[in-house]
Amino acid sequence: MRVHFIIHESFEAPGAYEIWAEKQGHQISYSRLYAGDALPSQVEEIDFLIVMGGPQDPATTRDVCPHFDAQAEQKVIAAAANAGKAVLGICLGSQLIGEALGAAFEHSPEREIGKFPISLTEAGQQHVLFSHFGAELEVGHWHNDMPGLTPDATIIAYSEGCPRQIVAYSDRVYGFQCHMELTPEVVELLIAHSEKELSQADNYRFVHTPAELRAHDYQQMNQTLFTFLDKLADRYRRTLA
């Protein structure tokens, strides 16, 4: 399987997504936009597009961030979705998926940084790709915004601080506002680039301190993510048979 990552910043690393792709022996390619890489020009050469997060939002202009072209990314995402590829967006990536499919992103009711539970909706609990999540699962968070909803979108999971944590846009296109890819290494990268936000932890209901972030165990949610990715990859392969 050919997995392509769009990575906006070095500190928004693919983490457990990359670990999964490597362990499964998938062919991996990257658009490291912060390093000047180009976006993929041919979605036909991709089976699974994974769009990572970043401090930007879909309204961020190139004047503000020269290496981030929201409109160009949305065209790639729309092309991949229309071609029947597996598409997954994380945080900013989930918002870009919504925008690419015609749904504007919105600000989340609460800033969330840390590890907090998400609850699955009834539709989420009945969804075959998420059946192993259970009714509630603790996952990572590092965000202020959330993806928009298209008429056909289904909310899979929500949290106390954000009503759109996981969104299914189609049977092969998903947005994860939450960060199930976090590992101790990725958390350290994010801590190093979030000094201002973390210094204000006491002012927010759902923001953990660096010490709390370092103390969390992220392995269980990583394993839950791996199973979801296996299921999505299997679903994609069956469409090719």
- The reported pLDDT for the residue numbered 47 is 98
List the one residue out of 97, 80, 95 whose CA is nearest residue 3: 80
Distances (CA, A) of 223 to 31, 173, 182: 25, 20, 11
Q: 3-state DSSP call for residue 108? A: strand
Strands 136-146 and 154-158: unpaired
Whole-number Å distance between alpha carbons of 37 and 32: 5
- The reported pLDDT for the residue numbered 232 is 98
- pLDDT tens by residue, the chain, 241 residues: 999 999 999 999 999 999 999 999 999 999 999 999 999 999 999 999 999 999 999 999 999 999 999 999 999 999 999 999 999 999 999 999 999 999 999 999 999 999 999 999 999 999 999 999 999 999 999 999 999 999 999 999 999 999 999 999 999 999 999 999 999 999 999 999 998 889 988 889 999 999 999 999 999 999 999 999 999 999 999 988 7
Q: 3-state DSSP call for residue 13? A: coil
Q: What CATH number has the domain bearing residue 39? A: 3.40.50.880
Domain that holds residue 216: 2-240
- The reported pLDDT for the residue numbered 240 is 83
Whole-number Å distance between alpha carbons of 50 and 53: 10
Q: What is the CA radius of gyration of the chain?
A: 16
Whole-number Å distance between alpha carbons of 115 and 161: 12
Q: What is the pTM of this model?
A: 0.97
Total domain count, the chain: 1
- The reported pLDDT for the residue numbered 196 is 85
State the number of CA atoms in the 13 A half-sphere of 47 facing the CB.
17
CB 37 within 8 A of CB 45: no
